[in-house]
Amino acid sequence: MSTAQLFALTPGEPAGIGPDLCLLLARTVQPHPLVAIASRELLSERAVELGLHIELLSASPGNWPSLPAPAGSLYVWDTPLQATVQPGQLDAVNAAYVLQTLTRAGQGCLDGDFAGMITAPVHKGVINEAGIAFSGHTEFLAELTHTEQVVMMLATRGLRVALVTTHLPLKDVAAAITAERLTQVARILHADLVEKFGIAQPRILVCGLNPHAGEGGHLGREEIEVIEPTLELLRGEGLNLIGPLPADTLFTPKHLDHCDAVLAMYHDQGLPVLKYKGFGAAVNVTLGLPIIRTSVDHGTALDLAGSGQIDSGSLQVALETAYMMASSRS
Q: Max CA-CA distance within the chain? A: 64
Continuous segment of H or E residues that includes residue 295: strand 293-296
Confirm whether residue 275 is marked as ligand binding. Answer: yes
Q: How confident is the model over 162-193, as pLDDT tens digits?
A: 999 988 899 999 999 999 999 999 999 999 99
Say how far apart CA 294 and CA 285 lie, in whole Å: 5
Say how far apart CA 59 and CA 77 lie, in whole Å: 5
pLDDT at 114 over 60: yes
Q: How confident is the model over 15-24, as pLDDT tens digits?
A: 999 999 999 9
The upper half-sphere exposure of residue 325, i.e. CA atoms within 13 Å in the direction of its Cβ, equals 29
pLDDT at 138 over 90: no
Average pLDDT, the chain: 94
User: What is the topology classification, in CATH, of domain 7-147+292-329?
Assistant: Isopropylmalate Dehydrogenase (3.40.718)
Torsions phi, psi of 9, nearest 5? Answer: -125, 125
Q: What is the pLDDT of residue 230?
A: 98
Confirm whether residue 167 is marked as ligand binding. Answer: yes
Confirm whether residue 137 is marked as ligand binding. Answer: yes
Which residues have CB under 8 Å from 9's CB, separation 6+? 22, 25, 34, 35, 36, 37, 105, 117, 118, 119, 120, 319
pLDDT at 2 over 80: no
Q: What is the pLDDT of residue 8?
A: 98
Which band of pLDDT confidence, cut at 50, 70 and 90, is reported for residue 1? Answer: very low
pLDDT at 29 over 90: yes
Number of other residues whose CB lies within 10 A of the CB of residue 78: 16
Which residues have CB under 8 Å from 145's CB, separation 6+? 106, 110, 289, 290, 291
Instruction: Outline which parts of the chain fall under CATH 3.40.718.10.
Output: 7-147+292-329, 151-275
Q: Which residue has the higher pLDDT, 312 or 221?
A: 221
The burial class, CB within 10 Å (0-12 / 13-18 / 19+), for 158 is: exposed
Say how far apart CA 208 and CA 243 lie, in whole Å: 7
Confirm whether residue 128 is marked as ligand binding. Answer: no
pLDDT at 99 over 50: yes
Spatial contact of 107 and 144, defined as CB atoms under 8 Å apart? yes
Please work out, in degrees rounded to the nearest 5, the angle formed at the alpha carbon of residue 261 by the alpha carbons of 164 and 200: 120
* Selection from 60, 67, 54 nearest residue 19 by Cα: 54
Which residues have CB under 8 Å from 80's CB, separation 6+? 39, 41, 97
Confirm whether residue 138 is marked as ligand binding. Answer: yes
User: What is the topology classification, in CATH, of domain 151-275?
Assistant: Isopropylmalate Dehydrogenase (3.40.718)
pLDDT at 3 over 80: no
Rg value, the chain, Cα: 20
Confirm whether residue 212 is marked as ligand binding. Answer: yes
Q: ω before 244 within 30° of 0 (cis)?
A: yes
Q: What is the pLDDT of residue 281?
A: 87
Q: Is the dihedral of CA 277, 279, 281, 283 positive or negative?
A: positive
Which band of pLDDT confidence, cut at 50, 70 and 90, is reported for residue 264? Answer: very high
Confirm whether residue 124 is marked as ligand binding. Answer: no
Say how far apart CA 19 and CA 41 lie, in whole Å: 11
